[in-house]
Amino acid sequence: MSIEILLLFRAVHIVAGALWAGTAIFYFFLVEPAAKTLGPDGPKFMQALIQKRRYPLYMNVSSALTIVAGALLYWNMSGGLQLLWIQSGPGLGFTIGSIAAIGAYLVGFFMLRPRGERLGKLGQQITMSGSTPDPAQAAELQKLDQEIRAIERFDVILLTISLLTMATARYWVF
């Protein structure tokens, strides 16, 4: 690969990765807890964030760009997956970071996304009814909220591991 292409992939990987991880961490620690303090306006805010501001699309695009650019960089840096490089300090650091990022992507896509979609549909049903949630809806809302929060915690941990290992991998010496 030419140096220009490598620099482009590196720029895409770093910027998209920073946006992906930064947004996920910001959302987990600040946005979601703040929305919960808004009372009945909280679900309206979250609906606007998800539907009008397209938060899920933003996260899907930034995470996919990060993964694709990172995979191409990894392939190039490892000399086509040479075991000697992978077992080196930097190779181990980038491998751990890659596995953590791919894990976070899979968790987001296969665990968070379906629950978020269900939460959105349930919120629309409640809004369209013009009343408060019935007991079954309230129970499902609470269950989804607890599941999503636990999954988000795991996702944030994976993204933090990825960030830390990627940022320090070149300094690992074994």
Mean pLDDT (whole number) for 37-43: 87
pLDDT (0 to 100) of residue 1: 84
53-97: per-residue pLDDT in tens? 889 999 999 999 999 999 999 999 999 999 999 999 999 999 999
Q: Report whether 55 contacts 49 (CB < 8 A).
A: yes
pLDDT (0 to 100) of residue 12: 98
For residue 174, pLDDT over 80 is answered with no
113-159: per-residue pLDDT in tens? 999 889 888 888 888 888 888 899 989 999 999 999 999 999 999 99
DSSP state of 80: T
Structural domains of the chain, count: 1
* Residue range of the domain that includes 149: 3-171
pTM of the model: 0.91
Task: Encode 133-156 in three state secondary structure.
Answer: CCHHHHHHHHHHHHHHHHHHHHHH
Whose tokens are 């549909």? That residue is 121
Whose tokens are 């805010």? That residue is 45
Q: What does the alpha-carbon distance between residue 152 and residue 113 come to, in Å, rounded to a whole number?
A: 11
